[in-house]
């Protein structure tokens, strides 16, 4: 059963004051009253400002010098002395905080004063805001508060200072979670901007901050260097809040106690890329004003706490405060994600508890699997059904004979033997089954099944299919040695051995399988992979049921027209294979023919942080019957198949990909006599347009465009950081042609802007044993 999201009701200082006026003696404090009333209305938590307006007033009087006129000199000196005393020993007065008892702090999400300006452009305001933040965090920590919600950064230019201050707080506490409230995008990006934005409370020592009268939540307006620009929101502005988040969490070294409170106050954008990027981030709270179209909460993972503000404001007259909680619970319960998780037989139901959990891939060749592992495989309703279909069609296509021989190689506990016998019966053909298995323990189970179920229709052979001798050659060879990346459990190598006993015109089921990759963003997977902080953990491919993951690539060829699809094929293996040179026993002389490499070019439509690669496989069992975990074909080919989760190839360091960049991924499947392993590497390029008619251009068209030498100036080179522009995609190819320019392929070049190191060289961290 999927857990329901927790709900929190958000209160202002005014709400607390009103609760105080309503106190009838049944609650010890107004906050305890609000907590009790909220529980009764269906809310699990309350969300409160930690400080009162009194604290803001004192801080302002000490730290913001009102004006520098001669009369004020004494006053200023006194304020400065008070400020220095406070800086030396920062502390609150009782009336400056909203909570002071342990029982008040338990079900409370605490909001740090939202007038603090940790990213002020004024050095002193920033300095004193940081001291105030540390004071608030220390006080919350004293009261055992588990989560504090931080005000959003507002100035792109000072976001690193903001991040540094948060990092200090993370270091000074051991258990407390810090959640930064950020809107999904800056709504100001979509407003016409005739005059410069007024940054909230941007103060200097000579001006008075215009802080709101209560610590009221308002969706922040972010000022970026582009704030004065065009009516149409460029990519950089829409990205601004996410870009700031990325800087903060990077400076905080991906600390797992740093999370996001995603503010859904702005209307949700139609562009899925803007929403999807938050899927890869640790969104632990969703901030939802009562005025919001609340159906939008349904797609969010993690079961975040949903903080609802303004529920007591009487905005919607019907239903009262409880109605919001009831409606959110209803939307959640009826969402497709929750429905799927609650329906037996779906991958979502099966995978509960495994989401984003890193597992080492099986090594069924080197290790002997446990019975419980086989039992888990055998619960898959789709894999065995498709195998049976494949065997059935192969039998029907095979010339009728009174002696068709089938071999199930790697029979495990026998489910494919059983399905083969059913297919034989359905086809009405006369066929016999050999079953080969090298796991001595599973072989005991096979013996029992032969005795009790299969009798003379099956003959068992114990041993490795690469060496075992069968009494005759077989017509149909059935194996299931596939990994999440197709060949990563060494199916090609095992089948090389088993092909010895397949007739030259015999059928292999599967007949082929292919490996596929896409660039992936997921702070959770990145953090999980580097838990041990050892290089080995970052150079090992993992099996993972993806949840908080965003695929960064897009379809459409990219700016240069040279990029491939969103998810791309690396390579394929076909069986029975004819290309290996074999010895007198029919075994390949070396494993060189199973070496593979691929170089793939991905278009990155929206900026993002790449944490690694997502790996998938597709297999053709026979004819039109297959197996797939490729996101684009899985539902068509093998919907609800449970046996394989995708593979995650981590990166040691996250790689920033700007909007409209080109990512080139290289991956190799390598081998020696004892092992097979993968190595991977990525390079990043920005496409650039040249002035088309300039004679000084010279473009390297020899390879994949990795170098672009140009002595003339580029037109519209996007910045690799925040302000990548979306000028290129908005220029449709047809428009380019209309305007008389050449096709993008001949006018676009690329500039290299980044790369990763080579992962797993020589198989030093991960390999599969032969």
DSSP 412: T
Residue 80: active-site member: no
Structure tokens at 616: 């998938």
Size of the site for ligand SAM (CB under 6 A): 23
Strand partners, 433: 406, 458
Q: Would you count residue 237 as binding ligand SAM (CB under 6 A)?
A: no
CB atoms within 10 A of CB 723: 21
Distance between CA atoms of residues 729 and 132, nearest Å:
45
Whose CA is closest to 111, among 312, 285, 329, 290? 285
| Interactions with ligand SAM, residue window 479-498 (CB under 6 A) | 480-481, 494
| Burial label, 650 (beta-carbon count in 10 A; 0-12, 13-18, 19+) | buried
Task: Choose between 299 and 381: whose C-beta lies nearer to ligand SAM.
Answer: 381
Residue 586, CB half-sphere, CA atoms under 13 Å: how many? 20
Tell whether 641 is in a known binding site.
Answer: no
Least Å from the CB of residue 465 to ligand SAM: 4
With CB atoms as reference, the residue minimizing the distance to ligand SAM is 410
| Interactions with ligand SAM, residue window 423-452 (CB under 6 A) | 436-439, 442
Site string for ligand SAM, 364-383 (x = CB under 6 A): xx---x----x--xx-----
| Interactions with ligand SAM, residue window 93-122 (CB under 6 A) | none
Stretch that binds ligand SAM, among 300-308, 410-418, 573-581, 592-600 (CB under 6 A): 410-418
Site string for ligand SAM, 463-482 (x = CB under 6 A): -xxx-------------xx-
Select from 111, 283, 416, 470 the one that contacts ligand SAM (CB under 6 A): 416
Task: Choose between 7 and 498: whose C-beta lies nearer to ligand SAM.
Answer: 498
Structure tokens at 694: 């300039």
Tell whether 464 is in a known binding site.
Answer: yes
Whose CA is closest to 665, among 687, 680, 655? 680
Residue 248 and residue 182 in contact, taking contact as beta carbons nearer than 8 Å: no
Distance between CA atoms of residues 464 and 461, nearest Å:
9
The active-site residue out of 130, 281, 480, 539 is: 480
Least Å from the CB of residue 435 to ligand SAM: 9
Site string for ligand SAM, 329-368 (x = CB under 6 A): -----------------------------------xx---
Tell whether 383 is in a known binding site.
Answer: yes
Residue 536, CB half-sphere, CA atoms under 13 Å: how many? 7
Q: Would you count residue 410 as binding ligand SAM (CB under 6 A)?
A: yes
DSSP 161: H
Least Å from the CB of residue 494 to ligand SAM: 4
For CA atoms 762, 765, 766, 770, give the dihedral sign: positive
Residue 622 and residue 672 in contact, taking contact as beta carbons nearer than 8 Å: no
468 three-class SS: coil
- In terms of C-beta distances under 8 Å and separation of at least 24 residues, what long-range contacts does 290-293 make, across chains too? 290/315, 290/316, 290/324, 291/315, 292/264, 292/265, 293/267, 293/268
Task: Choose between 332 and 437: whose C-beta lies nearer to ligand SAM.
Answer: 437
Least Å from the CB of residue 702 to ligand SAM: 44
Tell whether 384 is in a known binding site.
Answer: yes
Distance between CA atoms of residues 252 and 282, nearest Å:
14
Tell whether 342 is in a known binding site.
Answer: no
Task: Choose between 378 and 704: whose C-beta lies nearer to ligand SAM.
Answer: 378
Task: Choose between 247 and 435: whose C-beta lies nearer to ligand SAM.
Answer: 435
Least Å from the CB of residue 411 to ligand SAM: 5
Cα 471 → chain centroid: 51
| Burial label, 536 (beta-carbon count in 10 A; 0-12, 13-18, 19+) | exposed
The active-site residue out of 130, 489, 679, 683 is: 489
Residue 489: active-site member: yes
Active-site annotation, residues: 480, 489
List residues binding ligand SAM (CB under 6 A). Answer: 364-365, 369, 374, 377-378, 409-412, 415-416, 436-439, 442, 464-466, 480-481, 494
- Which residue numbers belong to the known binding site for S-adenosyl-L-methionine? 374, 383-384, 437, 464-465
- Which residue numbers belong to the known binding site? 374, 383-384, 437, 464-465
């Amino acid at each position: 059963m999927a857990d329901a999201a927790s709900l929190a009701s958000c209160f202002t200082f005014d709400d607390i004051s009103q609760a105080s006026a309503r106190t009838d003696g049944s609650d010890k404090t107004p906050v305890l009253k609000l907590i009790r009333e909220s529980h009764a209305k269906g809310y699990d938590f309350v969300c409160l400002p930690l400080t009162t307006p009194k604290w803001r007033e004192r801080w302002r009087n000490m730290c913001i010098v009102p004006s520098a006129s001669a009369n004020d000199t004494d006053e200023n000196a006194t304020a400065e002395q008070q400020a220095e005393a406070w800086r030396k020993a920062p502390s609150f007065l009782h009336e400056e905080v909203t909570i002071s008892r342990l029982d008040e702090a338990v079900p409370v999400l605490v909001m740090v004063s939202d007038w603090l300006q940790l990213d002020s452009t004024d050095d002193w305001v920033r300095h004193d805001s940081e001291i105030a933040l540390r004071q608030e965090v220390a006080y919350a920590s004293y009261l055992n508060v588990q989560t504090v919600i931080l005000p959003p950064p507002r100035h792109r230019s000072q976001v690193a200072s903001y991040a540094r201050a948060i990092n200090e707080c993370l270091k000074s506490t051991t258990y407390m979670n810090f959640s930064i409230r950020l809107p999904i995008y800056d709504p100001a990006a979509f407003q016409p901007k005739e005059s410069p934005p007024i940054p909230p409370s941007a103060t200097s020592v000579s001006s008075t901050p215009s802080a709101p009268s209560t610590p009221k939540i308002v969706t922040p307006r972010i000022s970026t260097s582009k704030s004065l620009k065009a009516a149409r929101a460029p990519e950089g502005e829409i990205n601004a809040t996410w870009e700031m988040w990325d800087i903060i969490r990077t400076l905080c070294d991906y600390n797992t106690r740093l999370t996001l409170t995603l503010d859904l106050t702005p209307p949700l954008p139609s562009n899925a890329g803007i929403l999807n990027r938050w899927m890869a981030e640790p969104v632990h709270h969703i901030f939802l004003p009562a005025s919001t179209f609340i159906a939008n909460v349904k797609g969010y993972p993690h079961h975040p706490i949903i903080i609802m503000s303004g529920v007591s404001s009487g905005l919607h007259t019907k239903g009262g405060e409880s109605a919001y909680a009831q409606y959110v619970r209803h939307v959640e319960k009826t969402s497709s994600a929750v429905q799927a998780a609650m329906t037996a037989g779906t991958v979502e139901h099966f995978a509960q508890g495994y989401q984003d959990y890193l597992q080492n891939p099986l090594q069924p060749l080197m290790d002997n699997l446990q019975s419980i592992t086989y039992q888990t495989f055998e619960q898959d309703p789709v894999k065995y059904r498709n195998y049976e279909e494949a065997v059935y069609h192969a039998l029907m296509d095979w010339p009728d004979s009174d002696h068709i021989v089938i071999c199930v190689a790697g029979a495990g506990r026998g489910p494919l033997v059983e399905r083969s016998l059913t297919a034989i019966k359905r086809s009405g053909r006369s066929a016999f089954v050999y079953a080969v298995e090298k796991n001595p323990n599973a072989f005991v189970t096979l013996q029992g099944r032969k005795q009790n179920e299969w009798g003379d229709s099956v003959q068992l052979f114990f041993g490795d299919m690469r060496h075992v001798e069968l009494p005759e050659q077989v017509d149909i060879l059935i194996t299931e040695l596939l990994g999440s990346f197709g060949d990563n459990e060494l199916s090609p190598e095992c089948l090389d051995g088993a092909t010895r006993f397949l007739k030259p015109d015999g059928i292999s089921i599967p007949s082929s399988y292919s490996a596929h990759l896409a660039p992936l963003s997921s702070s959770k997977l990145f953090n999980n992979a580097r838990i041990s902080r050892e290089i080995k953990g970052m150079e090992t491919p993992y099996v993972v049921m993806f949840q908080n993951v965003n695929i960064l690539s897009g379809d459409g060829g990219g700016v240069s027209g040279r990029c491939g699809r969103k998810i791309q094929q690396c390579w394929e293996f076909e069986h029975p294979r004819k290309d290996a040179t074999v010895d007198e026993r029919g075994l390949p002389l070396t494993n060189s023919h199973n070496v593979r490499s691929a170089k793939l070019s991905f278009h990155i439509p929206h900026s993002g942080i790449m944490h690694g690669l997502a790996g998938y496989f597709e297999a053709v069992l026979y004819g039109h019957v297959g197996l797939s975990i490729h996101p684009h074909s899985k539902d068509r080919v093998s919907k609800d198949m449970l046996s394989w989760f995708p593979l995650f190839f981590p990166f040691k360091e996250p790689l920033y990909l700007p909007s409209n960049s080109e990512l080139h991924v290289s991956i190799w499947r390598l081998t020696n006599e004892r092992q097979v392993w993968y190595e991977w590497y990525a390079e990043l390029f920005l496409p650039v347009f040249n002035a088309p008619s300039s004679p000084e251009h010279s473009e390297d068209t020899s390879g994949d465009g990795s170098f672009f030498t140009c002595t003339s100036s580029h037109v519209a080179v996007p910045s690799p950081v925040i302000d990548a522009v979306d000028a290129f995609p908005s220029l449709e190819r047809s428009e380019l042609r209309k305007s008389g320019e050449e096709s993008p392929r001949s006018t676009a070049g690329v500039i290299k802007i980044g790369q990763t190191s080579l992962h797993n060289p020589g198989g030093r961290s991960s390999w599969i044993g032969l």
